[in-house]
Each structure stands twice: as C-alpha cells, then as structure tokens.
Structure 1
Amino acid sequence: MAEMKRASRWPGFSGRAAIITIAALVVATELMLPTCAYGAGPHVHGQATLEIAVDGPAVQINLNSPVDNLLGFEHAPRNEKERQAIRTMASKLHQPDSLFIFTPTAQCRLESSRLVSPQLPSELLLSRSGSSMGSDHSVLNNDNKLKVDKPSVDKPTGDKSPGLSPAPSAATSSRPTPAPSPSTQIVPSHGHADDHAELEATWDFRCATPQNLQGLDVRLFQLFPGLRRIDTAIVGPKGQSSVKLTPASTRLKW
C-alpha cells in the first residue's frame, strides 16, 4: 500500500518486505470480512485502518481515516470554530502517548509524527507545542515532500567584487519582487467541497528494550468517538496478523 512506503525511511528497516507483507495482509483481511461492512467504497464513516510495522527497536504506526471520524465534518473549515476543531484534533494526534500504550518495560518513545490531509489547511495540522515523546512534528503535501520556507539571503551589492551581480538600477529596483515558488512554501492544500476528506497520520517510535515489547493498547476510540471500528494489520517479530478493533476490544498482542 502506498501509505506504508514511509517504512523504508527507517535506517536499517527492511521496508520492501514490510510493504509487501502488510499489503497482502490488508487485502486478505478485506476479502475475509463481509462486503457489506465496507459499504460502497473504501471511504466509510466510523471505520479506519491501522498498520503497524515492528522491526527491532523501530515501530511505525500508520492510521488512515475519513476526517469525519475525527472532526465530525469533512470539508475545508468554513469558520473559526471549525479551524479550532482541526487544531484540537491535530494536537491530540501529535501526542500519541495518549493514543497508544506500549508495554511499559519496552520504553518506547516517539521520534516523529506526521499528518497529511489534502482537504485540510496544512498549517492547522502542525503541532503547536512539541510532544514530550518526540521532536519531529511535520506536515507533508500530497507528494510526501516537506514544504518549508527557505530563508532569504541578502546578497551584497556592487559590481567590483568577482562573481557578484552588479547593483540594481533604479529601473529594476522598482520592480516587484517575484513571489517564491509554491514548492518552498507551507501552503494549504484544499480539496473540493464535495470531496470525501481523508487523513493519514504516521508515528515513528523507537524502543529502548524491544525484546520486552509484547503489544499495545489503542486509545483512539476514547479520544475520537466517531470511530467505531479499526481494521488493523501487523507485521512483527512473530509474523503477520490482522485484528478488528472496536471500542470494546482495543488490545493488540504479538
């Protein structure tokens, strides 16, 4: 699956194998579950998918969900109340210590968290304050490229130093400065009003004593009541498995 390609970014992580096994596992899980449970297509309110890859001390968790499950609406914000709702959602997702409870003795700590949604303004998905468990909180665009403002560099004027451009003339200095390229800006990426809005969240953890990691408890249902079912695929040290999580069943073991 496309969303699991990020697993290959781990140093030393056998990403290709994890991608293939998780993709096969998710397809198999969907075939085994009743067709009516998925509705007319992959976008089903109340349902989400969770993919977990465990490789030594590295753990990556990837959530894909309709935005409606997390916000109660799935359009670009129309007022300040809805903008604040998006900020609150992002704040919760950037603090996964309240979303995923690992085996305590494994000592797992967050290394990075990323939120992606084509329909929501990217600046509202940023973490306002760094989580105590991680240091890298970023927002990616649809091409999975980090959009960052490049700092401007003041160039010296004059035409006597070798390699420097001559000072601008009065005719040229009055011209407006060209706008920066869109690829270097943090810009909102809004979808159409009638689009089904999706959100992808990715968390990278590292465990100090991975041999003690036996599973985790998923607390997404408590923080996002719009979720009713999470279809989970796991690739771990003991192989691959699939689990259907509900508000009454939130524990994962491997």
Structure 2
Amino acid sequence: MITASTARSTIASLAILVSLPVLADQAEHRQLGPHVHGQGTLDIAIEGNKIEMELVAPGMDIVGFEHVATTDEQKAKVEKAKAQLADVLNVFKLPSAAKCKTDTANVESRKETHHPGEKDDDDDKPGEPQHSEFHATYTITCEAPESVTGLETAYFTDFAGGQLLNVNVTTPKGQTQAQMTREKPTLDLTGVM
C-alpha cells in the first residue's frame, strides 16, 4: 500500500530527475565565459625593437551595445570605433623618445569568443543574446626601445564604457601584470625592458 508520505517522496524524486537536464543546461549557459562590461584585456609583448599588442574589449565598452550591429547607425558606430582603435599610437601613447611607428594594425568586431569546452552555437539559438567584442592586434617598431619607459592611454577618453584594462606585459626579463583605469590611464614600464 502506498502511503501519502511515499507518494510525496516519489513525486519529489521524479521532479528532481525531470529538472536535472534543465538545471545542467542553465549551468552550462552561465559558464559561457567571463563577460564583464567595463573590463578589457591588453597583452603587450616587447622583444628587441618590436612591440606586439593585443586588445580584447566587450562591444558594450567600445560602442555602447553588446549585440552584433544590425542597424546602419550601429554599423557606423562599429566602423568609427574600428578606425579609432586602428590608430594604435593615438590610443596607446608611447614616449616620443622611443621613436615608434605602427607596422600593422588589425581591428575586428566579432561575436564573443568561447573558451575550450564551451558550446559555440549557444549564441545562435533563437532568443539567446549575442555578445560582440572588439579584437585588435598591433605590431610596432621603435628605434629607441630603451626609451619605452611607460604607456599612456586615451582608451578611456575615446570609449565611454571602458573602465579597466587588465594588462599583461611580457619581455625578455619576464612577465608583469598591471591594471589601467580611468583614474590611472598610465602604465609604468621602467625596468621591464
């Protein structure tokens, strides 16, 4: 004979079993990668007279929206931002004594990248938000690399949504991590060369 207590227990067990796939899907969706508005990443590698830089920033920080541009106005904002970011020595100012020039500048606006093990098709599901990010890579040559003692950025002035850049610097002397913010838009590179 099934008691009321046994019936409630059986129903509760079935409810848990039925909800597990939904909970797993929700947990998987939440783990689609760190998407933090206001925070970008700037990687800098310096070797000899060459500086390579890579900037990754959420679309919200750069153009004020995070979805892939669809309207003419949004597309124009993206193109303007790409042109601004392509002028690397205006966005990231190196000391004039270093006599640096841009060799290459490549700026893309694209769907946010996924990390290994994550599903690439989640953003393509109907009703799912699409996040965009800006990805820029630069190669710079400096005639006097020993004069690269710091970096000042106009990033926070140029892009209203940017609040913080997590900076990783790699040189023959090792690796350094720092942060640049609206309040401190400079980076001291003394001694890292």
Say whether the fold is shared (TM-score over 0.5).
yes
Identity among equivalent positions (%) equals 27
CA distance in 2, matches of 1:209, 1:237: 16
Q: How big is each residue's C-alpha offset from its partner over 1:203-226, in whole Å with a ceiling of 9 and x where there is no partner?
A: 110001112221211221010010
Q: Structure 1: give runs of 5+ residues left out of the alignment.
A: 1-38, 121-190
**What does residue 51 of structure 1 align with?**
43
CA distance in 1, matches of 2:59, 2:175: 28
CA distance in 1, matches of 2:185, 2:174: 20
How far apart are residue 251 of structure 1 and its match? 1.3
SS in 2 for 1:92: helix
Name which of 95, 98, 115 aligns with 1:103. 95
CA distance in 2, matches of 1:84, 1:198: 16
How many pairs align?
A: 146
How far apart are residue 81 of structure 1 and its match? 1.0
Q: TM-score, structure 1 length as denominator?
A: 0.53
Is structure 2 residue 27 aligned with structure 1 residue 92? no
Question: Which protein shows a greater Rg?
Answer: 2
**Does the CA contact (< 8 Å) of 2:68 and 2:130 recur in 1?**
no
Q: How big is each residue's C-alpha offset from its partner over 1:104-160, in whole Å with a ceiling of 9 and x where there is no partner?
A: 11101001011233339xxxxxxxxxxxxxxxxxxxxxxxxxxxxxxxxxxxxxxxx
- Over aligned residue pairs, what C-alpha RMSD do you find? 2.1
**Does the CA contact (< 8 Å) of 2:61 and 2:161 recur in 1?**
yes
Letter of the 2:184 partner, please give it: S
Q: TM-score, structure 2 length as denominator?
A: 0.69
Q: How big is each residue's C-alpha offset from its partner over 1:62-115, in whole Å with a ceiling of 9 and x where there is no partner?
A: 111111110111223222111111111111011122201111111010010112
CA distance in 2, matches of 1:76, 1:41: 17
Letter of the 1:103 partner, please give it: P
Structure with a larger share of its residues in strand: 2
How far apart are residue 41 of structure 1 and its match? 4.3
Is structure 2 residue 109 aligned with structure 1 residue 117? yes
CA distance in 1, matches of 2:156, 2:36: 16
